[in-house]
Each structure stands twice: as C-alpha cells, then as structure tokens.
Amino acid sequence: AQSVSQHNHHVILSEAASLELGCNYSYGGTVNLFWYVQYPGQHLQLLLKYFSGDPLVKGIKGFEAEFIKSKFSFNLRKPSVQWSDTAEYFCAVIPWGYQKVTFGIGTKLQVIP
C-alpha cells in the first residue's frame, strides 16, 4: 500500500522567511500529487497539483512544488511567507488506476508577524 510522509509536523517561521515543506511517497508507479491547505476552522482547499509534464508546479498564493521522481518527493515551497499562511498543509497522492487518496499526516505552519 502506498504511504505519504511529511517530515515536518510543526513549523514556526517569521514573516518573510522562506518555506519548504517536505513530502515523500512510497509507490513505484505513476502518481498524481497534491498539496492541500486547511486554514483554521475552514475546509480543505487545493493549493496545487501535479499530473504530468513540467515537474515544477505553480499554485495559488505564491506557492510552488517540485516533483522529483527519482526521490519520490513533492516538496512545497514559498519564497516569503505571510501571517495569513498560518494553516495546516497536507500532501496527498493518488496512484494512477486507484480512487483512494492517501494523505500525509499534515504540517502545521505557524507564521509569526
């Protein structure tokens, strides 16, 4: 069965600092990859997604992620975080041919003004 690992469970940054959240998955075949964000008290929103093509994916609110197939990684980055980025971030994987999404455990990001 596939699994998703998010290495940073709780990250605290000051505003304007750069962000990188790690995500690794274990599945040998083709996958679809996602990053979702959940702001306090709100529902899951899609930040960005990778299906195929350019491995550098740009999403909403200045986020981007890079798919490195050889490392089974899909790390999320943002050059300069804002206080409003405080939220929980989930990496998710769907192997091709499957309907089940596997989520990582989530990373809680706290941005200090």
Partner 1 sequence: DTEVTQTPKHLVMGMTNKKSLKCEQHMGHRAMYWYKQKAKKPPELMFVYSYEKLSINESVPSRFSPECPNSSLLNLHLHALQPEDSALYLCASSQDGTSGALGEQFFGPGTRLTVL
3 contacts partner 1 (rule: CB under 8 A) = no
Which secondary-structure segment (H or E) carries 92? Answer: strand 87-95
We find the least distance from the C-beta atom of residue 16 to partner 1, in angstroms, to be 27
Report whether 15 contacts 23 (CB < 8 A): no
By CB under 8 A, tell whether 46 contacts partner 1: yes
Q: Is 96 in the site for partner 1 (CB under 8 A)?
A: yes
Nearer to partner 1, 5 or 73 (CB): 5
**Per CB under 8 A, 105 contacts partner 1:** yes
Q: What are phi and psi of 67, to 5 degrees?
A: -90, 120
Query: What residues have CB less than 8 Å from 78, skipping those under 6 apart?
Result: 18, 19, 61, 62, 63, 64, 85
Interface with partner 1 by CB under 8 A: which residues? 30, 32, 34, 36, 42-46, 49, 51-52, 88, 90, 94-101, 103-106, 108
